[in-house]
Amino acid sequence: MQGSGSDSGGVKLASRSELSAFLAGVERRAFKQALFGVRDEEAALDIVQDAMLRLAQSYGDRAAEELAPLFQRILQNAIRDWYRRQKVRSLWTTLLSSLTPGRDDDSDQDPLETLQEAGDSNRESGPQENLERGQVLEIIEQELSRLPARQREAFLMRYWEELDVAETAKAMGCSEGSVKTHCSRATHALAEALRGRGITL
């Protein structure tokens, strides 16, 4: 039975019941911690559940005294990942809204290099605005899957992975100019697809 003995170094491993007891004991405090961090109950619950699952799947064979620091690290990483996704998604909508009809689709300029930060980025969004933004993001993700592979690859590396142009070019095995062209065409295609659905960001 797991945890009934010791590992080769003489450290007693956490039993299945000890792991379950730890997760049950830490859940409420972790939820409050995540809620304080993200200020969204549904997101906080998802973050905690994900962190608990990661701990059980990847570190369930660790010593009992290691569980608390490991869980805290996983939880903090999950909160940071949530903020990163929010930042990237906000960037996508801001990026696409900055494009105007009629701009040259063959431009070799990477839109991110000339994008101006939104002046109201710290403004609180209302429930209706959050709902509408969520619906737009779902459409953006759908349209991403329809892009040519190289455009999608460049776009995701630049705006999701947050690689710079040189890093993206190296990863894709192409020139920096090609990366800028792929990103420009992808961004214009996404903006055009949204306009085709009657969405103006």
In this structure, are 55 and 107 located in the same domain?
A: no
Is 109 found in the same domain as 36? no
Q: What is the residue range of 37's domain?
A: 16-83
Q: For the domain that residue 74 is a member of, what is the CATH number? A: 1.10.1740
Residue 117: other Cβ atoms inside 10 A: 8
Residues 186 and 102 in one domain: yes
The string of DSSP letters for 19-42 reads HHHHHHHHHHHHHHHHHHHH--HH
Looking at the fold, whether 105 and 180 belong to one and the same domain comes out as: yes
- Are 171 and 161 in contact, with CB atoms under 8 Å apart? no
The mean per-residue pLDDT over the stretch 34-55 comes to: 90
DSSP 3-state of 51 = helix
Could you give the number of structural domains in the chain? 2
Neighbours of 169 (CB within 10 A): 20
pLDDT in tens, 3-24: 444 444 555 677 888 888 999 9
pTM (predicted TM-score): 0.48
Same domain, 66 and 156: no
In a domain, 139, yes or no: yes
pLDDT one-digit tens code per residue, 61-108: 888 888 999 999 999 889 888 887 777 667 666 666 665 444 444 455
In this predicted structure, which of 52-66, 95-109, 153-167 has the lowest mean pLDDT?
95-109
